[in-house]
Chains A and B, each alone.
Chain A
Amino acid sequence: MPKVTYTDHTGESRIVEANVGDSVMETAVRSGVPGIVAECGGSLSCATCHVYVDEAGLASLPPRAEMEDEMLWGTAEDRRDNSRLSCQLRVTDGCDLRVTTPATQV
């Protein structure tokens, strides 16, 4: 099964088994992973599912679409080169993605 590793800002990690086709945000919310708020439920309107993607995994992801890129200017903790909105990241077969959540989403 594909999996996603969520590391919070203190360094604590959780590994969650994920379903192909779900988003990295949905996977986190369903498993109660703290650090991902996802107020709007995935409609690209709140920027509260911000994650920093591990450099190794970054290259495997499709690039940001225009609206995701715009919304990343509205995150609570400043965006970096590896910033993504986890509602836009789809779990794929065999994926082993590692993301870090910011200290705050609001």
Chain B
Amino acid sequence: MTSTRTLAGTASACPVHHGYEPFDQDDPFPSYAALRAQEPVMFDERIGYWVVSRYDDIKAVFEDWETFSSENAQAPVRERGPQARQIMEEGGFTAYSGLSARVPPEHTRIRKVAAKAFTPRRFKVLEPEIRANVVRLIEAMLARPERRGDLVRDLAHDLPTITILTLIGADVDKIGTFKRWSDSRSAMTWGDLSDDEQVPHARNLVDYWAECRRLVAEAHETAPDSLVGDMVRMQAEGDPISDHEIASVCYSLLFAGHETTTTLISNALRVLLSHPEQWQCVVEDTGRIPAAVDEVLRYSPSIVGWRRRALRDTEIGGVAIPKGADILLLMGSANRDESRFEHGEAFDISRPNAREHLSFGFGIHYCLGNMLAKLQTRIALEEVARLAPGLRLADHADIHFGHNLSFRAPAAVPVTWED
């Protein structure tokens, strides 16, 4: 009944915001279109952010990192409550950001080390293992006599999590724990939680950060063949990076390294299965999968909005922006801007310029894991097309998305199939 609620919300609440509800992710796209048309740079006093919705403006802000700092990218949207703050202080929680909210020259220095550890050669060797994991997960789902599954729970939840834990050298038997910590990070940073609701998440963040530090300490002892092991070795060989910074990169990768890929795989199957004629094209010619993945990234990005802060008085799209202003860039809107994408609201895997989407950002903070995310999604689609070409969305599948400022993740993608 969310559609009713959304419609009512759009009609009655806040015509001044063009229907935009910062944390409501079920269907933000009509409000994005209204923002682009009516107020492409809008101050939203409910969150204290300037909301930017046109493609060219967003790309220009990403590109101009000297004016628009990423320092607020990991700041809690809702201020931390006193209990949460106390739990985190007493628990020794000193993490803020691995890379995304760091700024040059520090960002340049740390990213260089992280990038050297996180190379195509490192993850390409995992391709057979990733494929075997997809096959195992899909076959387990298809073995259910009731012929019903949920692609989030049954496939997308585990697949990228196993991969990143393997790369980092963390315990792959603790998928559930790492996912719980990630959910807490997402809720604590980009959610809309009350002080009381923050408490269990604050405890999780303390444990999460302790595990990051433990991984670094362990790597000093055991010199493992892993991403953390590589970074510790680089440090020993003279690369300028501290243990706290390596732990912070782990804090980053243990979140960004699976959370958004879980969403991408879920969205890829959700959107393709809801366009059965295009799913059929993919099944008949799996060579079309890379282009389909780019179109999914454009049409339904895992992250729909990302933050920046103006370091001086400036302007965006002709609108004056004061020094210190917080800015929310709606990539989910940029990706449907008609000035860049013809029939931008339509999903079309044959679109020639889908790759111009801004879902991985642009410029110095461009998503480090973009290639790994696309690799895993391609493999997932190839194997689902081969093993379950007749898969379809369950009838009356009413798919909802979690309440969040930035992350637009489906809670479930219910599917069914014939024998």
Give the interface of A toward B (CB within 8 A): 37, 39-48, 66-67, 70-71, 73-74, 106
Contacts and interface: CB of A to CB of B under 8 A. Distances in A.
A70 B367 CA distance: 17
Interface majority SS (helix, strand, loop, mixed), chain A: loop
Contact of A40 (B120, B121, B124, B362): B362
Nearest to B293: A106
B7 interface: no
A16 B205 CA distance: 53
Interface in B368-390: 368, 370-371
A47 B366 contact: no
Nearest to B290: A106
Nearest to A48: B355
Contacts of A42: 363
A71 B119 contact: yes
A106 B287 CA distance: 11
Given A46-B371, A47-B371, A66 B363 contact: no
A48 B362 CA distance: 13
Nearest to A70: B119
Interface size class of B (residues with CB under 8 A): 20 to 34
B370 A40 contact: yes
Contacts of B214: none
B370 A45 contact: yes
Contacts of B363: 40-43
A5 B121 CA distance: 31
B360 A73 contact: no
23 contacts: A39-B355, A39-B366, A40-B370, A41-B63, A41-B362, A43-B364, A43-B365, A44-B115, A45-B366, A45-B370, A46-B366, A46-B370, A46-B371, A47-B120, A47-B371, A70-B116, A70-B119, A73-B119, A73-B120, A74-B119, A74-B124, A106-B290, A106-B294
Contacts of A44: 115
B335 to A, nearest CB: 13
B112 interface: yes
Interface of B: 62-63, 112, 115-116, 119-121, 124, 290-291, 294, 355, 360, 362-368, 370-371
A71 to B, nearest CB: 7
Contacts of B120: 47, 70-71, 73-74
Contacts of B119: 70-71, 73-74
Contacts of B371: 45-47, 74
A73 B366 contact: no
B115 A106 contact: no
Nearest to B115: A67
Nearest to B59: A41
A43 B112 CA distance: 10
Contact of A41 (B124, B291, B366): B366
B206 to A, nearest CB: 31
A76 to B, nearest CB: 8
A45 B115 contact: yes
A70 B291 CA distance: 24
Contacts of B360: 39-40
The 4 closest A-B pairs by CB, nearest first: A74-B120, A40-B366, A70-B119, A73-B121
Contacts of A45: 115, 366-368, 370-371
A64 to B, nearest CB: 14
B112 to A, nearest CB: 7
Contacts of B368: 45
Contacts of B365: 43
A41 B121 CA distance: 21
Contacts of A48: 355
A66 B237 CA distance: 15
Nearest to A104: B290
Given A41-B363, A67-B116, A106-B290, 20 more contacts: A39-B360, A40-B366, A41-B63, A41-B362, A43-B364, A43-B365, A43-B366, A45-B366, A45-B370, A46-B370, A67-B112, A70-B116, A70-B120, A71-B119, A71-B120, A73-B119, A73-B124, A74-B119, A74-B121, A74-B124
